[in-house]
């Protein structure tokens, strides 16, 4: 039997990827267990610290030492400083000034070290162009014009992320009896913060629980979602399929403009959040690929259905003629682009808009509209 314990730190708006070293060092010092082996698993805004072969007593002692509130207050000061957040939290900062990127990031994002913001946009634009050129090269249905005129969608709003003004920390710990068991005996305890946080987009409030996805850059998300609405070309007769809908944000933003929104999402907690956030929309907790057949058989094929995909899925039924596809890893989604545009999918790309959702990093979100006759 393998014992393991897991401390889960959820910090919204803070990049765990680029703060790994700081968080690790801080936790070890704070809890005075510098001799302990810690494994660090990081996700966008969640860090999991694993302690192997430790019993419950160790975890309880550790939790006491960490003392949620004190830990929370201190770790924020360590992590949220101008050089380590992904975003520029100084609203007055001139975006032409040089940007300093911490060492841990600079190894991965060399081109963005001390690069003015306009230059960063240009670099990301080039990345987006390369993706589109690759689609053209590999797809038989594009006409050669894509990849030439992609402009990055800059929006100063995306830069203005008030990192301090948000309820950004939830601390959990798990004690797992057997990590290799498919259904591990897992105790979960909230040691700091609330079970959920509330975020605002436009004039809408969203309740988000720990396991649910929500865009990190909320101001950027307003830009992204507005652009998705534009690309969906919605009217009061449109039915929106919000596939992989997370907490249902896109559907909620768009629902007043359309006939109906149906959201599909894998994570149970996210679907429960989505239902609370928008009780007028329909949400299904399932893998898209398992639910799509049933959903479509319940719809009239003459209806105008637009699918929003984030991330994409193969196997789009033939009566869907219009897809708006958002990807935060366009290079990895290349195969899906190709599938949609080859003879089986038969879609054409009609619009490409990169949105700078992650200023001062190498990352961006690419929106593509696919249409077919
Ligand atoms: C990048 S998030 C986007 C969420 C939402 N569209 C938004 O913008 O807030 C991707 C979501 O897809 C969900 N997901 C991933 N694979 C899925 C699948 N096969 N079926 C349904 N949902 C899936 C994830 O749980 C996650 O909530």
The pLDDT assigned to 95 comes to 28
The response to whether residue 193 sits with its C-beta less than 6 Å from ligand 1 reads no
Compute, in angstroms, the gap from residue 143 CA to the centroid of ligand 1: 31
In the block, tokens 């989604």 appear at 333
The pLDDT assigned to 229 comes to 92
Nearest one of 142, 101, 112, 121 to 18, comparing CA atoms: 101
The response to whether residue 163 sits with its C-beta less than 6 Å from ligand 1 reads no
By DSSP bridging, strand 348-355 and strand 365-371 are antiparallel
**Which has the minimum average pLDDT: 47-61, 78-92, 198-212?**
78-92
Interhelix angle 68-79/20-30, nearest 10 degrees:
140
Which is the closest atom of ligand 1 to the Cα of 212? 27
Angle at 44 between CA 369 and CA 207, to 5 degrees: 80
CATH number of 4-80+162-196: 3.30.70
Confidence of residue 322 (pLDDT cuts 50, 70, 90): very high
In the block, tokens 């898209």 appear at 288
Nearest one of 161, 244, 252 to 206, comparing CA atoms: 252
Compare 293 and 219 and report the one with higher pLDDT. 293
The response to whether residue 252 sits with its C-beta less than 6 Å from ligand 1 reads no
By DSSP bridging, strand 348-355 and strand 322-327 are unpaired
In the block, tokens 């007593």 appear at 57
Which residue(s) pair with 170 in the sheet?
Answer: 10
Q: CA dist 149 to 82, 156, 229, 242, 350, Å?
A: 33, 21, 22, 28, 12
Residue 50 near residue 39 (C-beta atoms within 8 A): yes
Q: Is 265 annotated as a binding residue?
A: yes
State the maximum Cα–Cα separation within the chain, in Å, rounded to a whole number: 66
Confidence of residue 263 (pLDDT cuts 50, 70, 90): very high
Residue 68 near residue 191 (C-beta atoms within 8 A): yes
Nearest one of 188, 190, 196, 191 to 167, comparing CA atoms: 196
**Regarding the domain delimited by 117-158+216-371, which CATH topology (the fold level of the hierarchy) does it fall under?**
Rossmann fold (3.40.50)
Compare 184 and 351 and report the one with higher pLDDT. 351
Q: Taking the domains of the chain in order of start, what are their residue ranges? A: 4-80+162-196, 117-158+216-371
Q: Is 215 annotated as a binding residue?
A: yes
Compute, in angstroms, the gap from residue 265 CA to the centroid of ligand 1: 6
Compute, in angstroms, the gap from residue 259 CA to the centroid of ligand 1: 23
**Which has the minimum average pLDDT: 15-29, 178-192, 193-207?**
178-192
Residue 186 designated active-site:
no
Compare 89 and 57 and report the one with higher pLDDT. 57
Instruction: Give me the catalytic one of 158, 244, 245, 328.
Output: 328
pLDDT at 158 over 70: no
To test the ligand 1 pocket, which listed residue (246, 262, 294) has its Cβ within 8 A of the most ligand atoms? Answer: 246
The pLDDT assigned to 240 comes to 95
Confidence of residue 8 (pLDDT cuts 50, 70, 90): low
Question: For the chain, how many residues are written?
Answer: 373
């Amino acid at each position: 039997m393998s014992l393991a314990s897991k401390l889960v730190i959820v910090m919204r708006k803070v990049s765990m990827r680029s703060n790994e070293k700081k968080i690790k060092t801080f936790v070890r010092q704070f809890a005075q267990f510098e001799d302990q082996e810690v494994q660090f698993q990081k996700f966008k805004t969640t860090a999991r610290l694993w302690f192997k072969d430790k019993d419950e007593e160790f975890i309880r002692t550790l939790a006491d030492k960490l003392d949620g509130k004190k830990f929370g207050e201190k770790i924020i000061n360590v992590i949220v400083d101008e050089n380590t957040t992904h975003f520029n939290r100084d609203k007055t900062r001139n975006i032409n000034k040089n940007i300093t990127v911490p060492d841990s990031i600079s190894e991965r994002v060399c081109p963005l070290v001390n690069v003015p913001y306009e230059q960063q946009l240009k670099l990301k634009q080039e990345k987006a162009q390369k993706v589109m050129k690759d689609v053209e090269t590999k797809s038989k249905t594009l006409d050669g014009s894509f990849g030439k005129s992609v402009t990055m969608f800059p929006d100063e709003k995306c830069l203005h992320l008030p990192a301090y003004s948000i309820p950004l920390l939830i601390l959990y710990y798990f004690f797992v009896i057997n990590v290799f068991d498919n259904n591990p005996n897992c105790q979960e305890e909230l040691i700091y913060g609330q079970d959920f946080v509330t975020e605002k987009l436009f004039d809408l409030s969203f309740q988000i629980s720990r396991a649910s996805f929500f865009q990190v850059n909320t101001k950027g998300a307003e830009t992204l979602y507005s652009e998705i609405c534009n690309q969906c070309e919605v009217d009061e007769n449109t039915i929106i399929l919000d596939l992989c809908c997370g907490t249902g944000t896109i559907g909620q933003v768009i629902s007043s403009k359309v006939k109906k929104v149906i959201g599909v999402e894998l994570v149970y907690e996210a679907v429960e959040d989505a239902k609370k956030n928008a009780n007028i929309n329909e949400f299904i907790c399932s893998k898209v690929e398992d639910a799509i057949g049933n959903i479509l058989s319940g719809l009239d094929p003459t209806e105008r259905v637009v699918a929003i995909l984030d991330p994409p899925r193969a196997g789009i039924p033939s009566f869907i003629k219009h897809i708006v596809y958002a990807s935060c890893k366009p290079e990895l989604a290349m195969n899906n682009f190709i599938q949609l545009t080859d003879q089986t999918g038969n879609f054409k790309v009609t619009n490409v808009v990169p949105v700078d959702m992650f200023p001062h990093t190498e990352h961006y979100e690419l929106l593509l509209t696919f249409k077919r006759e």
